[in-house]
Amino acid sequence: MSNIIDGKAVSAQVKERIRLETEKLKEQGIEIGLAVVIVGDDPASKVYVRNKKLACEAVGFTSYEYALPAETTEEELLDLVKKLNNDDKVNGILVQLPVPKHINDKVVIDNILPEKDVDAFHPVNVGKIMIGDYNFLPCTPAGVMELIESTGTDVAGKECVVIGRSNIVGKPQAMLLLHKNGTVTICHSKTKNLKEVCARADILVAAVGRAKMITSEYVKEGAVVIDVGMNRDENGKLCGDVDFEDCKDKAGFITPVPGGVGPMTIAMLMQNTLTAAKAQNGLL
């Protein structure tokens, strides 16, 4: 039986670290504020926004919520982003994706000030991650790195395989592993011999969006297996990209779904907001 990585426990440690630092900043007269904007009624987005508000309360941030109707125009949303860019009380801005189809999410992201872009989606922040000179990291890949670190695994020199090449997870995940001196392979739908490539990995990160696709045949004995997927199985139950039951006895460490990567994403958003506040107050 492998060691199950408890994302809730690791995220609680991260948030406690942030809370203590936030208290020290408050003693210096620095209050931290995160603005979360949601457009429309997407149920999953509403859950995320509620969880972000609770996380803000837990670490001592002020949460500014803007729930806009689905018919909000792109121009109206950009006007709000501009207002938040100019608001000194707001250190971080997050526009919850997806936005309704008539709004171009790329245009919205491009209009958030890079220094307030706590999702790290702005092209300036993406470029900084590429060259290794960054303040912010995309929340999910950063959370994955914390989980790997929690196992005591040193990434340097390890064979690392990332399945998935999205801009939000796959590509930045590969860069973060590379920055830690891992030897990184990115796999995708056109990869040949996928099982063989994955089975070489000391660290396997699955971010492909297909329920239980990764079975024990893909896993090297003793590997660290991180499951970023969030899917529903044939019974409508939450599951990841990894077949947990099939892989848990072969992996050295493995994340469950739920309770693995999910809690880390919001914890790292809090970390980015703290970093933004410190940078804006000349404390970095």
* 62 and 176 share one domain: no
Q: 107 and 146 in one domain? A: no
Tell me whether residue 9 is in a domain: no
Q: Is the pLDDT score of 1 beyond 80? A: no
Residue 192 within any structural domain of the chain: yes
Please tell me the distance from the alpha carbon of residue 276 to that of residue 273, in angstroms, as a whole number. 5
In the chain, count H helices and then E strands: 10, 11
Query: Environment class of residue 189 by beta-carbon count within 10 Å: exposed (0-12), middle (13-18) or buried (19+)?
Result: exposed
> Hey, is 52 helix, strand or coil?
helix
The reported pTM is 0.94
Q: How many domains does the chain have?
A: 2
If asked whether residues 154 and 213 sit together in one domain, one would say yes
Whether residue 187 is found in the same domain as residue 245: yes
For tokens 């912010």, name the residue: 136
- Among the residues of the chain, which ranges form H helices? 7-27, 43-59, 74-85, 105-111, 123-131, 139-150, 170-179, 194-198, 244-247, 261-280
Q: 236 vs 34, which has greater pLDDT?
A: 34
- Give residue 45's pLDDT: 82
User: Could you tell me if 106 and 149 lie in one domain?
Assistant: no
The answer, yes or no, to whether residue 2 has pLDDT greater than 80, is no
Question: Is 174 in contact with 186 (CB distance < 8 Å)?
Answer: yes
Judge if 97 and 179 occupy the same domain.
no
| 39-98 residue pLDDT tens | 998 888 888 889 999 999 999 999 999 999 999 999 999 999 999 999 999 999 999 999
In a domain, 244, yes or no: yes
Residue 211 falls inside a structural domain = yes
Whether residues 173 and 81 fall in one domain? no
Same domain, 221 and 148: yes
Tell me whether residue 207 is in a domain: yes
Higher pLDDT, 254 or 284: 254
Based on the fold, state whether residues 167 and 245 are members of the same structural domain.
Answer: yes
Q: How far is CA 49 from CA 39, 133, 238, 247, in A?
A: 11, 29, 19, 32
Does any domain span residue 3? no
Does a structural domain hold residue 153? Answer: yes
Structure tokens at 133: 């000179």
So what's the pLDDT on residue 235? 86
pLDDT digits (tens, 9 = 90+) for 162-173: 999 999 999 999
Q: If residue 255 lies in a helix (H) or strand (E), which one and from where to where?
A: none
Task: Report d(CA 94, CA 120) in Å as an integer.
Answer: 10
Whether residues 237 and 174 share a domain: the answer is yes
Percent of the chain with pLDDT over 90: 92
What's the CA gap between 54 and 228, in Å, rounded? 22
128 domain-assigned: no
Which residues constitute the domain of residue 193?
139-262
Summarize pLDDT for 148-207 with one digit per residue, the tens: 999 999 999 999 999 999 999 999 999 999 999 999 999 999 999 999 999 999 999 999
Q: Which sequence positions are flagged as catalytic?
A: 52, 96, 119
Residue 79: how many CA atoms within 13 Å on its side-chain side?
Answer: 6
Q: Which residues pair with 254 in a beta bridge?
A: 4, 225
CATH at residue 216: 3.40.50.720
Tell me the mean pLDDT in the region 256-280.
96
Q: What is the CATH number of the domain that holds 41?
A: 3.40.50.10860
